[in-house]
Amino acid sequence: MNFVKIHLILYTLIILFTTELIVAQSKDITDAYFEAAFSGNYVKAKQILINLKKKYPHSQKTYLITANYYGNAYEISGGNDKYYLVCKKYADYTINSLIKKKGLNNEDVFRIISAKSILLKINVQKKNYLKVAKNMQSVIRHFEYATKHENDDDKMKFISGMYHYYAETAKEDYPIIYPLLLFYPSGDKDKGLKLLKECTHSADKNISIRSLLQLALIYYRDEKNITVAENYFNALLKIYPNNLVWQTEYFKALKKYNKTKECTIRQGIIEQKIKENLLLTEEQKNYFIKKTEL
């Protein structure tokens, strides 16, 4: 083997090793970001995001996490559009960097749907249901991909579960977009619930936590079963008791079902956590206090 061939092999190995190292380091930062975000430590989450943007400014993962951060910021500000605009910008960056790619893989599809889901959630909060329908139309083929690859990994299983459940319930919940939903592939509520429950046992913590959250929301909003919803909220908050978004959503669920005693207990827990969290801005404090009014 001549020197040139040896040099090329070594060069290739160095590139592969460096790439794997960057991916591993990026994953560590990503995991740290979601741990901070799930814990309700928004200051730490922002610091980690700044670090991620310095190290990997143009990566799809950085775009997606930036969209996630500002989507959360939009919610806990009570709907300040300055956060929505940044969120949309980076969600669009994520989508546009992938949408024209040939031969999308599972990770690509997960990122596209994650970015779209952030925008979908905000548009539901804004009651922009036509935009919700438009966003769904633009990503439907990716949902179809996930349903066909649900046995590949837990990310695809989670997306498939979400699609199967909400493809059916959306027809009931949002009649204004019902005509558009008729053209979407059929869902299966029971299958969706089954897949999401399986995902609560995922080794991928991001997926297991999101599955617990979605099941808590589904059971109190759609299935009208507050007892089961409480089980999922309690499991979620046992791991992340300082997440005030989830704490206040639990309070909202209890209030909806007139569980006055439980509401009062949850209200006291939230008020104490607001007092203890010295990193909350006044805007954020006011948002959470307003959310816990009886």
Q: What is the DSSP letter of 186?
A: P
- What's the CA dihedral at 194, 195, 198, 201 to 10 degrees? -140
User: In terms of Cα–Cα distance, which of 264, 242, 263 is closest to 252?
Assistant: 263
The answer regarding whether domain 1-126 maps to CATH 1.10.3470 reads no
What are the structural domain ranges in the chain? 1-126, 129-240, 248-294
User: In terms of Cα–Cα distance, which of 60, 31, 64, 24 is closest to 48?
Assistant: 31
Q: What is the pLDDT of residues 1-39, one digit of tens each?
A: 454 444 444 433 433 443 333 344 457 888 999 999 999
Provide mean pLDDT across the span 181-192.
78
Q: What is the pLDDT of residues 64-87, one digit of tens each?
A: 999 999 999 999 999 999 999 999
Q: What is the DSSP letter of 204?
A: S
User: In terms of Cα–Cα distance, which of 73, 68, 21, 28 is closest to 52?
Assistant: 28
Residue 14's pLDDT is: 38
Task: Flag the least confident range among 22-31, 188-197, 231-240, 284-293.
Answer: 22-31
State how far the Cα of 234 lies from the Cα of 241, in Å rounded to an integer: 9
Q: State the pTM of this model.
A: 0.86
